[in-house]
Structure 1
Amino acid sequence: MSAISLYAKPSPEFAQKLAHSLALIKTAATEYSPLTQASSLGCEDMVITHLMHEAGLDNASASIFVLDTGMLHLETVALIGRIEERYPFKVDVYHPDADAASAFVEENGSQAMYKSLALRKQCCHIRKMEPLERALAGKKGWLTGLRREQSAARAEVHDIEQQPERAKINPLVEWTQGDIWHYIALNEIPYNPLHDQFFPSIGCAPCTRAVTLGEDFRSGRWWWENESAKECGLHVAADGTHEAQEPAAFEPLSSIIPIREIQA
Structure 2
Amino acid sequence: MVRNQVRVSSLEAQVRLLNRMYAGRDARDVLERSLKGQFDGDVALVSSFGADSSVLLHMVSQIDVRTPVLFVDTGKLFGETKRYRDELVEQLGLLDVRIITPEQEDLAEKDPKGALWASDTDACCHIRKVVPLAKALGGFEAWISGRKRHQASTRASLEHFELEEGCIKVNPLANWTATEVLQYAKDNGLPPHPLVAEGYPSIGCMPCTDKVAPGEDPRSGRWRGQNKTECGIHFSSASKGGAAQSI
TM over 0.5: same fold? yes
Residue 18 of structure 1 deviates from its aligned partner by: 11
Aligned to 1:233: 232
Identify which of 40, 43, 59 aligns with 2:48: 40
Matched to 1:37, the amino acid is L
SS of the residue 2:230 aligns to: coil
Residue 112 of structure 1 deviates from its aligned partner by: 3.3
1:57 aligns with 2:64: yes
After superposition, residues 14-93 of structure 1 pair within 5 angstroms as 20-29=26-35, 30-33=37-40, 34-54=42-62, 56-59=63-66, 62-89=67-94, 90-93=96-99
Verify the 8 A CA contact 1:236 1:243 in the aligned structure 2.
Answer: no
- 2:152 and 2:221 map into 1 onto residues whose CA distance is 12
- 2:75 and 2:88 map into 1 onto residues whose CA distance is 19
1:217 to 1:44, Cα distance in 2 relative to 1, 3 A: same
- 1:99 and 1:142 map into 2 onto residues whose CA distance is 26
Deviations 1:69-128 (A, max 9, x none): 00000000112222331223231000001232233333xx5443333xxx2111001000
How many correspondences in the alignment? 219
SS of the residue 1:168 aligns to: strand
- 2:69 and 2:24 map into 1 onto residues whose CA distance is 20
Residue 239 of structure 1 deviates from its aligned partner by: 11
- 1:187 and 1:181 map into 2 onto residues whose CA distance is 10
- 1:101 and 1:84 map into 2 onto residues whose CA distance is 28
TM-score, with length taken from structure 2? 0.82
After superposition, residues 166-181 of structure 1 pair within 5 angstroms as 166-181=167-182
Identify which of 104, 115, 128 aligns with 2:110: 104
SS of the residue 1:137 aligns to: helix
Residue 232 of structure 1 deviates from its aligned partner by: 1.1
Aligned to 1:260: none
Task: Give structure 1 regions of 4+ aligned residues with deviation exceeding 3 angstroms.
Answer: 109-112, 238-241
Aligned to 1:244: 243
Listed as ranges, the gaps of 5+ residues in structure 2 are 1-22
- 1:242 and 1:183 map into 2 onto residues whose CA distance is 30
Q: Percent identity?
A: 30
- 2:57 and 2:29 map into 1 onto residues whose CA distance is 14
1:127 aligns with 2:128: yes
Verify the 8 A CA contact 2:142 2:169 in the aligned structure 1.
Answer: yes
Which range moved further: 163-172 or 177-186?
Answer: 163-172
Residue 148 of structure 1 deviates from its aligned partner by: 0.5
Residue 214 of structure 1 deviates from its aligned partner by: 1.6
Verify the 8 A CA contact 1:114 1:224 in the aligned structure 2.
Answer: no
Residue 238 of structure 1 deviates from its aligned partner by: 7.9
Listed as ranges, the gaps of 5+ residues in structure 1 are 1-16, 246-264
